[in-house]
Chain A
Amino acid sequence: MLSTNSNPQLLNSELAVRSRTRRRAIDGAWAIFWYIILSLIALCLALPLVWLVSTSLKTGAQTFVMPPIWIPDPFVWENYPEAFRAVPFGKYFWNTAQIVVFATMGTLFTASMAAFAFARLRFPYREQIFLLVLSTIMLPSIVTLIPTFIVFRWLKWINTLLPLIVPLWMGGGAFNVFLFRQFFMTIPYDLDEAARIDGASSYRIYWSVILPLSKPVVATIAVFSFIHHWNDFFQPLIYLQNPQKWTMAIGLLGFKDLYSTSWNLMMAASTAMLLPLLVLFFFAQRYFVGGIQMSGLAGR
C-alpha cells in the first residue's frame, strides 16, 4: 500500500535507484542472448510501422511488387499533399481539435473536482459513492448507448460536436476520477488545515492549493485524454453522419472507401494521423510513464 501513497515523480526516482541496486547488470553470454531475443521482438513490432511509412512513400506501381520493396525508389513525398487534397482533412482536423480540446478541459475540470471531494473532504456516504464511481469503470458502455443516442437525437445534437464534448463535462470518466484521487491523497493534509485556518474555503483550497501541486497528474490525464479523443472511432461514427462534421478517424475511413486500391495514399493518410501522437509521445514521455505507474497501482 505504501507505493500508492507516493507521488509518481518520487516513485520514478525511487524506481531508478531500485533498479540500479536490484541486481548486477546482466553481462557476457546471457546479455547477448537477451539482446537477440529483444531485437527479434522489436523487429516483429517495428516491421508493420516501417511497412506503413515505406508504403506511404512509394509510387502506386511499387506497392504492387513481390517480394516487397522496403526502401521506396524514388521517395514520393507528394503522396502526403495528394492524400490531403483528396478529402478535406483540414476540416476533419479542425473538428477533431475542437473535440480534443473541449473534452479534455471538461475531463480535467470535473474529474478533478469530484476527486478533490473524495480525497480531501468529509461527507456522508463518501465511501459508498466512491465505490459507485469505481464500479462504473467495469460497466460496458454499450448498455447506455441507445437511450443516450435517442436523447441526443431529441436534443437535435446529432451532427454537432456536443455529444462528444458535453458528457465529459459531467464527471470526466470514472478512471480519471480515480487517478486524480490517488494523486491528491499524496498531498499532505496539513496544507488544507493551514489554509482553512487562514480562512480559505474548500473552493479556494481546490483551486489555489491542490491543483497547483497536481501538475504531473493533470498533464498525464491531459495526454491520455488527447490520445483517446484523437483515436475515438465509435462515438463519432454514431453521432457525426454529416461529412462536414467528421473527425480525422471517420475521415480516414471515408478516405479508405474512396481510394481502396491506392495503398500508398491510404498509408500516407494513416501515417499523418499517427504522427501527432508520436510527437506528443516523445515530448511528454515522462507523463506517460507517470500515468501508467499510477494506473498500474490500480491493481493493488
Chain B
Amino acid sequence: MTNQTIPPKPKRRRGLLTTEARDAYIFILPWVLGFLAFTAGPMLASLYISFTRWEIVTPSKWVGLQQFGKLFNDDRFWLSLYNTSYYVFLGVPLHLLMALLAALAINLNLRGIRIYRTLFYVPSLTPVVANSILWVWIFHPQWGLANSFLSRLGIEGLYWLQDPRLAKPALIIMSFWSIGGQMVILLAGLKGIPMALYEAADIDGANTWQRFWRITLPLLTPALFFNFIIAIIGAFQIFTQAYIMTDGGPNYSTLFYLLYLYRAAFENFRMGYASAMAWVLFVIVLIFTLIQFRLSDRWVFYEGDLRN
C-alpha cells in the first residue's frame, strides 16, 4: 500500500479554504476592517504625523525627530506627565484597595446585604459630566458638603479645587465614590472561589484572618491583576474631570497628559506635536503593562497552578 491516508471528511472547497473557513473570514470581516481603519491604520498614521509639522490648514512638513526634541524640552509636558503619574500611582492602588474592601464587605453573609450591594454600586452609574459638576459643588469652599463636614471636625476653609496642593488629592477622593464597577468585578471573583477550600481550612482550624491571607487573597489575584491593568490604562487617560472641574488649574496642578494633548491638537492644531505626545504615552503604557505582566508571575496565582 502506498501511504494513503484516511480520506478527509468531505468538505466543500472553493480555492484553498474550506467553506467553513471562508464563512469565518466573512464573519470577522467587520472587525478586521474596523481594526485596519480605526486601530492599525491610525496608529501608523499618528507615528508618521509625529515626524511632521502640521497645523491642519497648512501642508505637513517632515521634520524628523524635532517634535520629540521639543517635547522633551517642554516643561509643561513633564509637568503633565508628573500630574498624571501622581494620579495613576496614588489614585489607582487606593481606588482598588477601596473597591476590594467594599467587595469583601458586601460578600458577607448577612440579611439584607443586597440592599447594600445596590447602594454601593449605584454611584458609579453617574455620568462623568454630572459627576464632575456634582463634585465641584461638593468641593465648593464656601457652600460645599466637604467643608461643611470638615468644619465640624474643626478643619476650616480648605480650597480643594482652587488649591494647587489639594486639587489632585480632591480628584482622587472623588474617584472613591465610583468604586462600584471594580467592586462588583471583585465580588464576582470572590464568589468564584471554591467553597471546598474554605471547608478544608475550617477543618484544619484556620481562623478568619488566615482564611483571608491564605485563600481569599491569593485566589483573587487574577481579578485584582486584570482590574489593576485596565484601571492603570484608564487612569493614564484621565481627562474629563480636569477639563470640566479645574480646566487644568490651579497653577497647572491638574494639567493631565490627555488634557495637554487635547489642547495641543484641538485648540492649537499642532497635530505633529500632539501625535508625538500620543506615541510617547503609548510607549509608556506599553512598557508599564509589559512590566506588570512580567511581575505578575510573582504575585498572581492561577487556580490551574494547583494542578501543575
| Chain A contacts to B: CB under 8 angstroms | 1, 3, 15, 18-19, 21-26, 31, 34-35, 37-38, 41-42, 45-49, 51-52, 55, 63-68, 110-111, 113-114, 116-118, 121-124, 126, 129, 132-133, 136-151, 153, 167, 169-172, 177, 201-203, 206, 227, 230-231, 233-234, 237-238, 248-250, 252-253, 256, 263, 266-267, 270-271, 273-274, 277-278, 281, 285, 288-289, 292-293, 295-300
Question: Taking CB as reference atom, which chain A residue is nearest B109?
Answer: A25
Distance, CA A132 to CA B110, complexed state (A)? 43
Complex interface: chain B residues within 8 A of A256 (CB): 133, 244
Tell me whether A26 and B109 are in contact (CB under 8 A).
yes
Q: Check A116–B122 contact: CB distance below 8 A.
A: no
Contact partners of A274 in chain B: CB under 8 A:
125-127, 130
Closest chain B CB from A214 CB (angstroms): 15
Query: A281 touches which one: B23, B125, B281, B303 (CB < 8 A)?
Result: B125
Complex contact B188–A296 (CB within 8 A): yes
| 5 interchain residue pairs of minimum CB distance | A170-B34, A296-B188, A299-B226, A171-B31, A147-B45
Minimal beta-carbon separation of A263 from chain B (angstroms): 6
The size class of the interface chain B forms with chain A is 35 or more
Give 1 or 0 for each of B184-199: 1 = CB within 8 Å of chain A CB: 1111110110010010
**Whole-angstrom CA separation of A151 from B275 in the bound complex:** 14
For B135, the chain A residues whose CB sits under 8 A away are 48
Does A18 lie within 8 Å of B191, measured CB to CB?
yes
Question: How many contacting A-B pairs (Cβ < 8 A)?
Answer: 293
**Contact pattern, B 235-251, Cβ under 8 Å of A = 1, otherwise 0:** 01101100110000000
Q: Which residues of B contact A114 (CB under 8 A)?
A: 27-28, 30-31
| Main SS class of interface, A | helix
Knowing A21-B195, A23-B109 are in contact, say whether A47-B142 is a contact too (CB < 8 A).
Answer: no
- CB-CB < 8 A to B25: which residues of A? 117, 123
Bound state CA distance, A129 and B36, in angstroms? 13
B: which residues have CB within 8 A of A?
A: 17-21, 23-25, 27-28, 30-35, 37-39, 41-43, 45-46, 49, 56, 102, 105-106, 108-111, 113, 116, 118-123, 125-130, 133-135, 137-138, 140, 142-143, 145, 148, 177, 184-189, 191-192, 195, 198, 222-227, 229-230, 233, 236-237, 239-240, 243-244, 258, 261, 265-266, 271, 274-275, 278-279, 281-282, 285, 289, 302-304
Q: How far is the CA of A49 from the CA of B142 in the complex (A)?
A: 19
Contacts of B261 in A (CB 8 A): 142
Q: Which residues on the A side are within 8 Å of B192 (C-beta)?
A: 3, 296-297, 300
Distance in angstroms between the alpha carbons of A171 and B244 in the assembled complex: 31
Closest to B38 in A: A167
A110-B111 contact, Cβ under 8 Å, with A136-B39, A142-B282: no
On chain A, the residues within 8 Å of B281 by CB distance are 140, 142-143
* Contact partners of B17 in chain A: CB under 8 A: 123-124
- Asked whether, in the complex, the Cβ of B109 is within 8 Å of the Cβ of A19, the reply is yes
Partner of B31 from the list A110, A142, A233 (CB cut-off 8 Å) is: A110
Find chain B residues with CB under 8 A from A249 CB: 127-129
